[in-house]
Amino acid sequence: MPDNSFDVASKIDLQEVSNAIQQTLKEVHTRFDLKNAKCRLDWNPNEHQILLGAEDEFKLKAVNEVLEQKMVRRGVPLKGLTYGAIEPAAGSTVQQGITLQQGIPIEKAREIVKVIKNSKLKAQAAIQADVVRVSGRDRDTLQQVIQLLRNTDFGIDVQFTNYRTN
């Protein structure tokens, strides 16, 4: 009977994202090259989306770089951002949507479970909503699973939470 468990999750701290956006707006409004460039950042925390807008693609990329720098400084993983296509917008401007990942997509969860099963470690993995619960008899095995998952690139940012031992 497995006594120890932990969850593999992929969450982004929305408060840190909000802080990074505020810092980005502050810098964009004071930077000489972006001062009157019709730059904007729209943040929708309920839908986990950011909408960047600027006069042209060059300025849009500059705003995006500033945003990424601020996010890295605040500990927001860039692997959790999904960029949309750059589209023309009203008033001869361009815009780009960025979606924040909250939870592990089902395909990635299946991939994580497959990696754990193929490792031949004595641990069970189960998909529970947007997390993967890994349970095993001893802590050493779970530590090996964590190390295995850290060394495997799934294309998403993963955290190990809810570590329980008995």
Q: What is the pLDDT of residues 3-50, one digit of tens each?
A: 788 888 888 888 998 999 999 888 888 888 777 777 888 888 888 898
Separation of alpha carbons 97 and 110, rounded Å: 27
Domain 14-100: CATH architecture, name and number where available:
2-Layer Sandwich (3.30)
The CA-CA-CA angle for residues 89, 94, 95, to 5°, reads 85
Domain boundaries, the chain: 4-9+104-164, 14-100
pTM score, whole prediction: 0.79
- 3-class DSSP state for residue 156? coil
Top pLDDT among 89 and 146 is at 146
One fold for 4-9+104-164 and 14-100:
yes
Domain 4-9+104-164: CATH architecture, name and number where available:
2-Layer Sandwich (3.30)
- 3-class DSSP state for residue 75? coil
